[in-house]
Structure 1
Amino acid sequence: MRNFRKNHIGSAVIWLVVVLIAIFSLPNLTQLVSEKGQTKIPSSSQSQVANMIQKNWGHGQKNTTQVVAVFNNGDHKLTDSQKDQIDDAVQTLEDNKAHFGIKDVLDPSSNKEAKKQLVSKDGTTEIVQLMVAKSHGSYTKIDSQLTKAIKTPGLKTYVTGADILNDDFSKATEAGIQKTEVIAAVFIFIVLIIVFRSPVVPLISLLTVGVTYITSLSIVANLVKYANFPFSNFTQVFMVVVLFGIGTDYNILLYDQFKEELSHGKDNWEATRSAVKIAGRKILYSGLSLLIGFSALFLAQFSIYRSASGVAVGVAVLLIVLLTLNPFFMATLGPTMFWPTKNFNGGSRSKMWQWLSAHSVLHPIISLAIVLIATLPFILTYHNNLNYDNLAELSDSLPAKQGVQVVQKHFSKGTAEPSTLYIQADHKLNNEEALKLIDMVTKTAQAEPGVKTVASATQPGGSKVSALYANNQLSTVTSGMNTANKGLNKIGKGLNSADKKLSGTDMQSGLSQVKQLSDGASTLANGAVALNSGITELDNGSEQISSNLSVLNDGVQQYTAGVGRLNSGASALNNGIQSYTAGASQLGSGASQLSSGVQTYTSGVSSLNNGLQTLANKNSELESGASQLASGVTSLQSGSQQLSNGLSQMQSQLNGSTSAAQLEQLNTGLGQINSAISTLANTQSTLSTSLTSVGDNITSAGASTQKTADDLKQIQAALAANPQLAQSNPALAAAVSDIATNTKNTGDQLNTAGTTLKGISGSSSSLTSDQISQMQTALTGAQSAVTALESVQNALNNQGLVSGSQQLTAGLNQLTAGTNQVTSGLQAYTSGVASAASGASQLSANSSTLNSGAAQLASGTSELNANSSALNSGASQLASGTSELSANSATLNSGSAQLAAASQQMTTGLGTLSSQAPTFVSGLMQVSNGTQTMYTTLSGLTGEMGQLQTGLNSAATGVTKVAKGTKSANSYLKGLQNSSAADEFYIPKSVLKGDTFKQSLNTYMSSDMKATKMTIVLDSDPASETAMNRVTNMQKVIKNNLKGTSLENATVAIGGQTSTLADTKSIASQDFIRTAAIMLVGIALALMVVTRSLLQPFYILGTLLLAYMTSLGLTKLFSTAFLGQSMLTWNTPFFGFIMLIALGVDYSIFLMMKYRELAGTGTPGQRIVQASGIIGAVVLSAALILSGTFAALMPSGVLTLIQVALVVIIGLIILVIILPIVLPALIKLTYPAKPDKNDDTKTTRQERNQD
């Protein structure tokens, strides 16, 4: 049991259990960094206020991240095909929003304003803005999915965004930590082998530090998870370098003391106890200062700075592990720890430190001067211009960074990371007053230096919408007022003119003329009634004519069918004659064919006779219709005469020269109408007579045709009885002769009928060329008279007789319509008569052809008796004639149809005339009533004309004054239009409520319309100090401009990368000074306890600060020369400070504690030189190991870690050089040269106790 305690086996078991618990309880560090490791800025800063407004924005954008998809074609313009591919990719995103977690898409095709902002001016690049839900998954998942979705052949595509870049930074840092752990472990192992010349000591050292790292990391991670302990990307990496570096230093100190104790012949347990007691005190003092330094970071306000306080937890665990677990290995292994080394002589000395301190004591002022001369140039040339651009932290090979660089190249630098100004009020902003203020803020932001574009609800495209500004709207108003002024001047002139005319008007004389007009209108109305009756009778007669023509057409069609049958019989006869010439034996067969042809011919002739008989029977009805037509024409003529008489009476009653002349013109036209109607009546009479003659001739033709049919029957009977009858019976020749005679008579009669129809055609032509022309001339005159009466009506209007003149006008318009329809009807009638004439001509031609055919038939039969060859020739001619007759029967049928169509047109025209006649009569009655009313009204208005004239005079004067006032007001408005006061936003309600402006409101206003935003693009790098200063100043200027307005109490905040960096700069700068002061005070107090001196802590801190400031200057020069970065990252100075000060103070404590141990051995100068020689070897080894540990950060590729490592390494190099110079020199200058007896007594007592 005693050995159990002596060998510290219990400690080993406990730490084994602790490590196992730590390993199994360790949370997911990557998830912790993602969820709680982001930079946290105080909620009162403007960027965080802006973020809070954005979170409550609505429109489905709550808890979203902005992602930008970049499509680039290098330095060449995008082709139409490539643009189509981009559109397809965007459509894929639109169609699969749920799959990609997309809440909103803004691409160049969304609207014109978006196209201006999202397509580069050189046409090589397009960007698409996406709002993606954070709940969709990790940023790595979002990046991966979208990268695959937008991949387009032939184009370079990138997915980037602030959160994606931060995620890439976290992954780069995590990868850097893994590299650092391996490199640091290997480096420490090699250094320890060199120092102790044993492979066992390095393994034990790494094991104890590893236990410390695992345990402390698990504690910190669980505190972060369950207690919101400060955490960031840098927490783990600093724990690695600090614990491995300082832990190794402490182990070297402890193992070196253990080795020295073993050299004195002590056993394992005694050597362990003595080493822990002597070296452990130094470790505790040193660790205490380190613990105080890192614990002070917990009092910082900035999350990044506070996150480094996790190192304090690691230091506390380290101290416990080193002083409890190391004794187990030391007591258990003893000298075996240093295998294969057998030499356990005391620790070595540092000749360099001893030489530097010795010369510093001899020449303290010179030594201090040399140090200042060597360091001040680097301190004075250093400027605290820091780089806040997170892109500098990332490798150029990352696609997200490449995407940002492409956007910065082809757009402005600010396009990739625009700022957003938010204004949140307690009332809605979608009204004219609020929008005016928003536009004022927009123009204020545009006027700020360094601002490229500002897009807002009033200027969605980044420029003014001219139609929504008062000066543009005043331009429309002034133009309208010019027009109105001209109109007012015209009205004034018109009123003056009316006043003058009324002054010269003789109302009483005009009233008597109106009376005469009223009487004439009554007479005219009566005549119109009579005219209407005549038109009705004429219409009835026309309908009867149309009916008779229809019957005539049927007869012609029957005649055509008979001709066809006649043609068939002639063909059969021809065949019989040809058979006769072949021989007497074939006569019987020919006679049979002739008999068949005669039957067909008889049937056709019978049908023709029936049709012609029917046509003859209907001829009386046609004559009756023609008589009625003539009667109607007579009635029309009578009505026209009455109308003419009425107009004559009106003319006699009107004394005005203009009205009388116009009525005279109308009277003349009506006379022409009477003449034409008379001619029409005569023509109708002639037509009736001609049609009667046609009927007689057709009847005679029918009788002759019947006789022909009887003769043919005799031929048929004779041929049937005796086939040889053709040569022996003279009756055959007589019958054939009768056929020829009768057929010739039929042709003559048809010819006569054709001549008669030609006469009808002549009469129709005469009517068309003369009488119809005269009637048209008369109607034209009547229309001129109507026009003249309209002039009279206009004159009556000027006299104020509106009601009566309107009634007159209505009647005259109806009269005009009626006369036009009469003209149309007569023209249609004329056309129909001409068509009938054409058909009659064709019938005449057909009758001539028929007559010729009959003559040929007669000639043929004569020759048949004499000579069979002549008979054959005649038969052929007969067939030819009947063919022509058949062909011409079609023409006859067409002419009959045309005659019927013409009759129908005449009927339609007369029907239209008949239907409009009542309207004409009604119009004249209205004229009569209107003139009577007009007369009555004028009688009452005569006495009021004086008042009217006075009113017109006053109105003219008033209009003139209004015109002058309008001109004056317009002049003022033009001046206002050109002034700066008119350059104000004003939106009409119709535009405000319109769909177009609604799109702008949805884009730039929150869902509750109580917050608005403006997108601000800077022309400089958003991460530059210039841009940050501009954003900060802009927020103040806008806030001041809103004072005294309805938005005075509104929340104004600017969000975006520039604003976030500006807040980061502000809080980091303030917190750096505050945290550094706390840290220095804490370390100073610890040093006072350790050194038991008031001056020495300040000497130590001054030396550390000198090394730190010099290191910053050198690091900046080194970074510019070798890293291509002219500025340090914004957190490099802080992390370099806490690392160098906290770690560097250890070496000062080692030196000063050795100095105190040597109290009483000489003067202060001698003791410090001796202490420097003894502790120098330990410090140099520790500095080498710590520098190597920090050098392991460089392969991480993270700029901040590289620069922090440089600051620490360079600072440690400077420190190990100036520490043995500055401290000895200051002690030489401030402490007496004589030995301190008290110190000697204390030292002797301490040494005795140790023995």
Structure 2
Amino acid sequence: MIERLVRGLARTKWIVLIAWIAITAVSILALPDLQAIVRETEQKFVPSDSESVVAKEMMERIDPEQTTKSNAIIVYSRAQGITEQDQQWLQEKAKTLQNLKGDDSIKSVQSAYEMPEMASKFRSADGTTELIIVGFQRAENDTVTQEAVDVLEESLSGAPEGSSVALTGSAPISKDFQKSSEEGLKKTELLTVGLVLVILLIVFRSPIAPFVPLLTIGLSLVITRGLVALATEYGMPVSSFTESFLIAVLFGAGTDYCILLIQRYREELRVDNDRVEALVRTMRTVGKTVVFSASTVFVAFFLIGFAQFGLYQSAVGVSIGVVVTLIAGLTLTPALLLILGQAAFWPSKVNSGQGHGESKLWSAMASLASRRPVAVLLVTVILLAPLTLLFEGKRSFDDIAEIDPGHGSVQGFRQVERSFGSGEVFPVSIALTSSDSMRTPEALAALEYASASVARIDGVKEVRSVVRPLGEQLSELTVQDQLTKTSAALEEMQSGVDKVAAGLSTASSEIATGQGDIDKLTSGLQEMSSKTKDAKNGLHQIHGGLVSAAKGTDKIVGGLTQSSNVASSMAADLQGLLKAHPELMNDKNVQMLLGKQQGLTKGLSELKKGSAAVQSGFKKLNPSLDKVADGLGQLAEGQTQAADGAKQLKGGLNELTGGLKDGAKGLTDISSGLTQVNDAQKAIADKGGNQIPGWYMPEEAINSPEFQQALDFYMSKDGMTTKLEVVLDVNPYSGDALVTVDRIRDTLRQNLSGTAIADPQVLLAGTSAQISELKDISQNDFTRTGTLVLIGIFIVLMILLRSILAPLYVLLSLGFNYLVTMGIVEFIFVDLLGEPGLSWSASFFVFLIIVALGVDYSIFLMARFKEEYRPGGIAYAMSRAMTTTGGVIISAAVIMGGTFAALMMSGVNTLLQIGAGIVIGLILYSTVFMGLVVPALANLIGEANWWPFRKQNSAAVVVKETHQKKADPVLEG
């Protein structure tokens, strides 16, 4: 069948060439542009059901009119400090951008001039930097957004002299990342073609032969790009790595296949110089090897399509390229060889050519591996195993490191990092949901408590939420502020109590002073009563003491007048006291005293009237002495009652004075207690500071217009979804940020559990949160996909070699080589160059390519080993395979290493590490493992290499081995 196909190809060789050129032209004209698609593709590749994606979608529903999907940050700085002229320029710039709102790109413009109450958010504390944040309606990779970024960059010209202005944020960073990738891709293409051409010139020692693989791979690459771009319309993911890997793998592996075919064709052409027969023999032998080699690469990259992580899946396009390259290698390359014939190797003469010849170095390694397989394995393991311990799996997720530091987005990011802090550009966004509305005082208090707990986490700069719209706690609603207000109220109350106590003390003193007048009144009344009685007795002696009686009556009138005056004075004093202290009106003693005073006044009035009558009677010499005597008796009785009332008044005033003194003392005690309470509250406030968790927002504060703005911005209308923004004070790409993100999630879930927020669900988004997810997703996908790749390659090797043991030790050698390679790579980049870790995707792609492409060298060797093998001739067959394919393996490794070495010049940190890892790995595998380890294992296992598919005759084995040793001087030695 192969013979018929080759002879048919010989008749249609020109048609095949023209057909490939035509297909290439059609793909250029009709198929999509892969680079344009990559430019518009989201590069983060987080699964759609991941926490960060779901959280972002939930937060977008809070306020769709204000939510932006990407942003750009204008970073304006002056080392000596922002001047008034700078601010005028920025204000004009903000106004200009505001006028652009409403189109399909710019959705919001935030600055210190539109939001003066939040000026601290836009101006650095050191006064050197100011920000304007522009929000876009579409994602950062969208064409419209990228065009808007271009417009912004153009608008930044004309800044005041001496200032610096840069554009950073998600959209500019994405744009510069894509730009760096495209620039790196151009470098990679040129370097790859140049390196491959130089290596092929050295290998073939001909200026014509190198163009056979170059044309084959070049046309395959162009067609593959169009097919991969077309496949994206059916869901195939692509990334900035897709084209880089296409170039490296197709030029590397494809050139290796072409070298294998061309070298074997030259070897066969030496037999009879018949182009067709030489090609028939070539395709019959190495054609199958090429198919199986390409199959392992195809299987490896095809199985990546089963990864969950989009960036890993984006390498699946290489499998399309491998198929196209294989078809081209089996059709276009033979057609070109048939067309060129011996001219392909000009100026060398094919008749005298020896291909790679019998390599003495590989013959020596074959002899060593066959004679001392155990020693070779032990020495190799002892020397290489320590290198695997250098691989600790340290990974870096810093996307900024992937971009040329000279780009504006990186410079702007670093300026913000210096002036505001690392986390200001990419805060952690948190979506919080509840089964009930959170627009209640209790739920808001729970939110504040959770926000305060997060703010205390190491690595957190500030927390912005509905209860902290400016990133700071609403202090007027905290326990500390309430304690301060209570202390002020207590101090005011204490002052009032002190004044009342002083008033009571004054009243007590005044009453005590008035008691002396009451004693005088009592004494006067008693004296009057006694004299009245004497007057009554004197009536009996009226005749004898008329003159004396008249004088006594005058005295009585005078005494009554004096008594009346004293009573009036007491009444005035008492009324004055009641006016000064109206609260005494409620005192029972005072009421009793008032009644007695009124009785005293009344008695004195009656007494005065009686005295007047007596005086009148004396003057008129009223003969009715009995009436006068009765009057005098009543007067004496009234005076006695008045004296008793005065005594009772004195007792009541004594009691009142005691009560006033007790009241004053009680108020003094109250004042002392208030002082102690106030001092205690101040002590609590001083010790607790801002860490006092108590917080409460009354209903009237919730309904205030100011707080409603914060509610509408941070919380959905139904109150069941709210968002928080956590600004980190560490680099959002760093390992510390990943640890902080986990602590934030745990702290929120712990502090919200059992609160007024019903069934709280916490979901994190943002750069740091996505990186945290990538860490787990990529690691799990590595393990799962790597296992699938190994199984797929094992099956291909088992079919090719018809063995189980041989594929096993080949895969073991590849795995050991990978660990050694990664140990060396991590030592170089982390320990020597000071990187925080290898790029997070580097280890996966190094594994994939070393295994998928490194196994090709095993196939080259083992396929020839199987071809040369005869029962009993393990050592001879391996020696023959090594001496004939050793040069091909080295050439293929050099070609493959050269194509991936070109990635190291791309300027993209991840590609640099991947390129370095693959170069190191291929060098190790093509020399140490292919020259020593795999041959030693093959010789050590012996005839079991083909188990369980072939059984050998022991007698035949001995005879054949002896015969082959005699025929092979290397083995005889």
Q: TM-score, normalised by structure 1?
A: 0.60
Q: Deviation string for 1:746-770 (max 9, x for gaps)?
A: xxxxxxxxxxxxxxxxxxxxxxxxx
Q: Counterpart of 2:643?
A: none
Match of 1:1226 among 897, 914, 937: 937
Query: Which letter does structure 1 place at the counterpart of 2:169?
Result: G
Q: Counterpart of 2:848?
A: 1138
For the aligned residues, what is the CA RMSD? 4.1
Q: Is the 8 A contact 1:455 1:462 kept in 2?
A: yes
Q: 1:410 to 1:1135 in 2, by over 3 A?
A: same
Pair 1:246-2:253 in alignment: yes
Q: Counterpart of 1:104?
A: 108
Query: Which letter does structure 2 place at the counterpart of 1:54?
Result: M
Q: Counterpart of 2:636?
A: none
Query: Which letter does structure 1 place at the counterpart of 2:181?
Result: T
Q: Distance in 2 between matches of 1:44 and 1:1233?
A: 49
Pair 1:62-2:70 in alignment: no
Q: Counterpart of 1:1188?
A: 898
> 1:406, CA displacement in angstroms?
1.4
Pair 1:417-2:426 in alignment: yes
Q: Counterpart of 2:548?
A: none
Q: Distance in 1 between matches of 2:582 and 2:945?
A: 137
Q: Counterpart of 1:469?
A: 478
Query: Which letter does structure 2 place at the counterpart of 1:1034?
Result: I
Q: Counterpart of 1:88?
A: 92
Pair 1:144-2:150 in alignment: yes
Q: 1:149 to 1:98 in 2, by over 3 A?
A: farther
Q: Counterpart of 1:627?
A: none
Q: Is the 8 A contact 1:1164 1:1233 kept in 2?
A: no
Q: Is the 8 A contact 1:165 1:400 kept in 2?
A: yes
Q: Counterpart of 2:212?
A: 204
Pair 1:988-2:673 in alignment: no
Q: Pairwise mapping of residues 537-576 of structure 1 onto structure 2 (< 5 A)?
A: none
Q: Distance in 1 between matches of 2:673 and 2:578?
A: 41
Match of 1:40 among 40, 45, 48: 45
Q: Is the 8 A contact 1:100 1:145 kept in 2?
A: no
Q: Counterpart of 2:557?
A: none
Q: 1:1227 to 1:5 in 2, by over 3 A?
A: closer
Q: Counterpart of 1:394?
A: 403
Q: 1:1238 to 1:143 in 2, by over 3 A?
A: farther
Q: Find the residue that maps to 1:1046 and give its secondary structure.
A: coil
Query: Which letter does structure 2 place at the counterpart of 1:272?
Result: L
Q: Is the 8 A contact 2:253 2:853 kept in 1?
A: yes
Is the deviation greater in 347-356 or in 64-73?
Answer: 347-356
Pair 1:28-2:33 in alignment: yes
Q: Is the 8 A contact 2:9 2:335 kept in 1?
A: no
Q: Counterpart of 1:172?
A: 180
Q: Counterpart of 1:1067?
A: 777
Q: Counterpart of 2:323?
A: 316
Q: Is the 8 A contact 1:47 1:1053 kept in 2?
A: yes
Q: Distance in 2 between matches of 1:378 and 1:1053?
A: 41
Q: Counterpart of 1:355?
A: 364
Match of 2:225 among 205, 209, 217: 217
Q: 1:113 to 1:1101 in 2, by over 3 A?
A: farther
Q: Is the 8 A contact 2:48 2:54 kept in 1?
A: yes
Q: 1:479 to 1:399 in 2, by over 3 A?
A: closer
Query: Which letter does structure 1 place at the counterpart of 2:346?
Result: W
Q: Deviation string for 1:191-224 (max 9, x for gaps)?
A: 2233223333222222221222122221111110
Q: 1:5 to 1:353 in 2, by over 3 A?
A: closer
Q: Deviation string for 1:976-1033 (max 9, x for gaps)?
A: 7838796411123333333443444344335654433333222322211121022123
Q: Distance in 2 between matches of 1:1126 and 1:1097?
A: 37
Q: Distance in 1 between matches of 2:34 and 2:871?
A: 54
Q: Is the 8 A contact 1:37 1:233 kept in 2?
A: no
Q: 1:1198 to 1:381 in 2, by over 3 A?
A: same
Q: Deviation string for 1:249-278 (max 9, x for gaps)?
A: 101111122222222215332222222221
Match of 1:1099 among 800, 809, 812: 809
Match of 2:235 among 212, 220, 228: 228
Q: 1:350 to 1:658 in 2, by over 3 A?
A: farther
Q: Is the 8 A contact 1:103 1:131 kept in 2?
A: yes
| Unaligned runs of at least 5 residues, structure 1 | 507-654, 662-789, 801-948, 1245-1251
Q: Distance in 2 between matches of 1:350 and 1:237?
A: 34
Q: Counterpart of 1:374?
A: 383
Q: Is the 8 A contact 1:1028 1:1058 kept in 2?
A: yes
Q: Counterpart of 1:899?
A: none
Q: 1:245 to 1:83 in 2, by over 3 A?
A: same
Q: Distance in 2 between matches of 1:44 and 1:973?
A: 55
Q: TM-score, normalised by structure 2?
A: 0.76
Q: 1:194 to 1:1002 in 2, by over 3 A?
A: same
Q: Distance in 1 between matches of 2:117 and 2:790?
A: 55
Q: Is the 8 A contact 1:475 1:974 kept in 2?
A: no
Q: 1:105 to 1:1008 in 2, by over 3 A?
A: farther
Pair 1:1028-2:742 in alignment: no
> 1:8, CA displacement in angstroms?
4.3
Q: Distance in 1 between matches of 2:803 and 2:675?
A: 90
Q: Pairwise mapping of residues 1084-1233 of structure 1 onto structure 2 (< 5 A)?
A: 1084-1119=794-829, 1125=835, 1127-1160=837-870, 1163-1219=873-929, 1220-1231=931-942
Match of 1:259 among 239, 260, 266: 266
Is the deviation greater in 966-975 or in 410-419?
Answer: 966-975
Pair 1:72-2:81 in alignment: no
Query: Which letter does structure 2 place at the counterpart of 1:127?
Result: L
Q: Distance in 1 between matches of 2:580 and 2:261?
A: 131
Q: Is the 8 A contact 1:294 1:309 kept in 2?
A: yes
> 1:795, CA displacement in angstroms?
10
Q: Deviation string for 1:948-967 (max 9, x for gaps)?
A: x9xxx9xx999999989999
> 1:467, CA displacement in angstroms?
1.1
> 1:1118, CA displacement in angstroms?
3.7
Q: Distance in 2 between matches of 1:3 and 1:1165?
A: 39
Q: Is the 8 A contact 2:497 2:670 kept in 1?
A: no
Query: Which letter does structure 2 place at the counterpart of 1:57?
Result: I
Pair 1:293-2:300 in alignment: yes
Q: Is the 8 A contact 2:871 2:952 kept in 1?
A: no
Q: Pairwise mapping of residues 98-137 of structure 1 onto structure 2 (< 5 A)?
A: 98=102, 101-109=105-113, 114-134=118-138, 137=143
Q: Is the 8 A contact 1:392 1:1199 kept in 2?
A: yes
Q: Distance in 1 between matches of 2:35 and 2:10?
A: 41
Q: Is the 8 A contact 2:62 2:714 kept in 1?
A: no
Q: Find the residue that maps to 1:454 and give its secondary structure.
A: strand
Q: Is the 8 A contact 2:507 2:577 kept in 1?
A: no
Q: Distance in 1 between matches of 2:792 and 2:583?
A: 110
Q: Distance in 1 between matches of 2:11 and 2:898?
A: 35
> 1:113, CA displacement in angstroms?
6.6
> 1:1178, CA displacement in angstroms?
0.6
Query: Which letter does structure 2 place at the counterpart of 1:219?
Result: L
Query: Which letter does structure 1 place at the counterpart of 2:260?
Result: L
Q: 1:56 to 1:342 in 2, by over 3 A?
A: same
Query: Which letter does structure 2 place at the counterpart of 1:1035?
Result: R
Q: Find the residue that maps to 2:466 and give its secondary structure.
A: coil
Q: Is the 8 A contact 1:107 1:128 kept in 2?
A: yes
Q: Deviation string for 1:827-851 (max 9, x for gaps)?
A: xxxxxxxxxxxxxxxxxxxxxxxxx
Q: Is the 8 A contact 2:504 2:663 kept in 1?
A: no
Q: Find the residue that maps to 1:1192 and give its secondary structure.
A: helix
> 1:282, CA displacement in angstroms?
0.4
Q: 1:164 to 1:791 in 2, by over 3 A?
A: same
Q: Is the 8 A contact 2:342 2:350 kept in 1?
A: no
Q: Deviation string for 1:172-196 (max 9, x for gaps)?
A: 2122222222222232223223322
Query: Which letter does structure 2 place at the counterpart of 1:20?
Result: A
Is the helix fraction higher in 1 or 2? Answer: 1
